[in-house]
Amino acid sequence: MLPEPTTAESKQTSDTNPEPNTHPHQTKYIFAGYKEWITRYQLALANRFRRIKDWRFTQWAQQYNPSQWCYFIAFSLMMYAGFFSVENWDSVIAVIAFVGLVRELLNIFHKVWETTLGKSVTLIMYASTANLALAFAAMKINLITGVEPMPFVFTLGFTTLILMPFWIALSSVVMFSFGLILANLWLLIRLPLKLFGIQLKVHWEDKKHALLTMFMRIILIPFVLFNMLSIMAPYISKPLEGNTFGLTIGSIERPGFVEENRTPEHSEEAGADALMLETEDAEALKARALLIDNAIAMFIYYMEAYPYSACQKTSNQRSVILDDFSVLLISKNPEAKNGYDYVVQKCEPRYPK
């Protein structure tokens, strides 16, 4: 048998290898206390939410769906801005109404997608829109560079991404216009049928004040459409040169109303103010359109064109091979339209001497 350690040796051993003070049972009690505290906190929150649900205001608010609340808020803000001449609220009102309309469109899309015919129509529309988006992006590249867009593979995808707000706004305009027409037709059909005792629902989801909500929906849809057109304006402000279809937003002639007690001085001042506003809007629109073109041109220069090429070029130029005999040379020029010069020339091979 081995000799038992002495008191000094056992003390030295305990000093070198101290036992931990925390025992497993103590850790278990700590976690149990935290768990009990979390459970009490959850019960307190549940009781508080239950009391909130019992409020009269909460019970009244639950009678309306989220889309109705969006319409109520947007319409109230519109009336307030109209009566008190509050400016710069148009975007906020349009966004709130847009949220309510998109929610209803998503519900319709889910119902249509559940059917085989709906899936077929949706896929056909998606393919058509994608093809049109690629064609529009290719035309945009051609207008910037002056050459065919086939070599610009990466820029074609980037331009499609840049133009995505235009296509989202365009699809929203089409859907909202279609919804506006259907809403008016539904009201016109419902009123005569009601005279014969045939009751039809104004809306499939609205359970209370459905008719009032439908009128607000009809008023807010054109407002949202107008703001959508302002988003689309930078993309379609210039005609597509060299094409038979040119998308432009022209000046809309306003009807001439008879004005009383208007002196020539007042008319000249009003005309000058209107001209100044139109000029400022045109300049802002032009700046936004130029920003989009500059972004595409910058992507072409830095990501699509290469600093080294098999064709002869200067050090400040980047090249894009067009075919076996031609090369596109791009160089920076602050005075150019989009900040770059595009020159097509014959590819002279850079053979070693």
Does residue 6 have a pLDDT over 70? no
Domain total in the chain: 3
Does residue 264 have a pLDDT over 80? no
Residues 143 and 100 in one domain: yes
**What is the DSSP track for 138-157?**
HHHHHHHHSS-STT-HHHHH
Residue with the bigger pLDDT between 74 and 52: it is 74
Judged by average pLDDT, the poorest of 97-106, 202-211, 292-301 is 202-211
Question: Residue 340, SS3?
Answer: strand
Instruction: Tell me if 253 is assigned to some domain.
Output: no
Residues 223 and 335 in one domain: no
Residues 157 and 49 in one domain: no
- Mean pLDDT is highest, among 166-170, 198-202, 316-320, for 316-320
- Mean pLDDT is highest, among 61-65, 194-198, 308-312, for 308-312
**Domain finish residue from 37, 62, 87:** 62
Residues 178 and 119 in one domain: yes
**What is the DSSP track for 208-236?**
SSHHHHHHHHHHHHHHHHHHHHHHHHHHH
pTM of the model: 0.67
Q: Residue 137: pLDDT band by 50, 70, 90 thresholds?
A: very high
The tens digit of pLDDT for each residue in 324-336 reads 899 999 999 999 8
Residue with the bigger pLDDT between 169 and 275: it is 169
Q: What is the pLDDT of residue 249?
A: 37
**What is the DSSP track for 79-101?**
HHHHHTT--S-HHHHHHHHHHHH
Instruction: Tell me if 262 is assigned to some domain.
Output: no
Residue with the bigger pLDDT between 54 and 303: it is 303
Q: What is the pLDDT of residue 55?
A: 64
Residues 113 and 152 in one domain: yes
Residues 183 and 233 in one domain: yes
Residues 40 and 108 in one domain: no
DSSP 241: T
Judged by average pLDDT, the poorest of 2-11, 111-120, 283-292, 296-305 is 2-11
Using CA atoms of 183, 185, 191, 196 in order, give the dihedral in degrees to the nearest 10.
Answer: -130
Instruction: Tell me if 3 is assigned to some domain.
Output: no
Judged by average pLDDT, the poorest of 16-20, 171-175, 244-248, 283-287 is 244-248
Q: What is the pLDDT of residue 11?
A: 47
Instruction: Tell me if 257 is assigned to some domain.
Output: no
Judged by average pLDDT, the poorest of 62-76, 105-119, 197-211, 258-272 is 258-272
Question: In terms of C-beta density within 10 A (0-12 exposed, 13-18 middle, 19 or more buried), how is residue 11 classed?
Answer: exposed
Q: How far is CA 129 from the centre of its chain?
A: 17
Q: What is the pLDDT of residue 256?
A: 40
Instruction: Tell me if 256 is assigned to some domain.
Output: no
Does residue 9 have a pLDDT over 50? no
Judged by average pLDDT, the poorest of 183-187, 233-237, 262-266 is 262-266
Instruction: Tell me if 242 is assigned to some domain.
Output: no
Domain that holds residue 33: 25-62
CA distance 139 to 129: 15
Q: What is the pLDDT of residue 178?
A: 84
The tens digit of pLDDT for each residue in 87-102 reads 788 889 999 999 999 9
CA distance 278 to 281: 5
Residues 209 and 177 in one domain: yes
Bridge partners of 343, per DSSP, are 329
Q: The tokens 């045939």 sit on which residue? A: 198
Residue with the bigger pLDDT between 54 and 262: it is 54
H helix runs in the chain, sequence order: 7-16, 24-53, 56-61, 66-83, 90-113, 116-145, 153-162, 164-195, 210-236, 264-299
Using CA atoms of 5, 11, 12, 17 in order, give the dihedral in degrees to the nearest 10.
Answer: 100
Q: Residue 250: pLDDT band by 50, 70, 90 thresholds?
A: very low
Instruction: Tell me if 162 is assigned to some domain.
Output: yes
Q: What is the pLDDT of residue 343?
A: 93
Does residue 79 have a pLDDT over 70? yes
Residues 132 and 56 in one domain: no
Residues 165 and 299 in one domain: yes
Residues 34 and 87 in one domain: no
Q: What is the pLDDT of residue 232?
A: 84
Bridge partners of 327, per DSSP, are 321, 345
Bridge partners of 340, per DSSP, are 332
Q: Residue 277: pLDDT band by 50, 70, 90 thresholds?
A: very low
Residues 29 and 103 in one domain: no
Arithmetic mean of pLDDT over the chain:
78
Instruction: Tell me if 249 is assigned to some domain.
Output: no
**Domain finish residue from 13, 47, 62:** 62
**Domain finish residue from 40, 62, 84:** 62
What is the mean pLDDT of the segment spanning 297-308?
A: 94
What is the mean pLDDT of the segment spanning 48-77?
A: 79
CA distance 202 to 187: 7
